[in-house]
Amino acid sequence: MDADLLEDLDPEQRAVAESVEGPVVVWAGAGTGKTRAVTYRIAHATHVGAHDPRRGLAVTFTTRAAGEMRERLLRLGVEGMQVRTFHSAALRQLRHFWPRAIGGQPQDILAKTMPIVAEAASRCAVATDSATLRDLAAEIAWAKQVEIDPEHYADRASQRTPPL
Q: For the residues 116-126, what does the mean pLDDT come to?
A: 89
Q: For the residues 68-94, what does the mean pLDDT come to?
A: 93
Digit-coded pLDDT (tens) for 55-74: 999 998 888 889 999 999 99
Cα angle value 91/95/39 (rounded, 5°): 45
**Mean model confidence pLDDT for the chain:** 87
The residue type of 20 is V
Share of the chain above pLDDT 90, in %: 39
Q: Classify residue 128 as exposed, middle or buried by CB count within 10 Å of its CB (0-12, 13-18, 19+).
A: middle
Q: For the residues 83-91, what does the mean pLDDT come to?
A: 90
Q: In sequence order, what are the residues at sequence separation of 6 or more whose Cβ sits closer than 8 angstroms to the Cβ of residue 7?
A: none
pLDDT score of 135 more than 80: yes
Any idea which fold 3-90 has? Rossmann fold (3.40.50)
Contact 39, 77 (CB under 8 A): no
> Which residues of the chain form CATH 3.40.50.300?
3-90
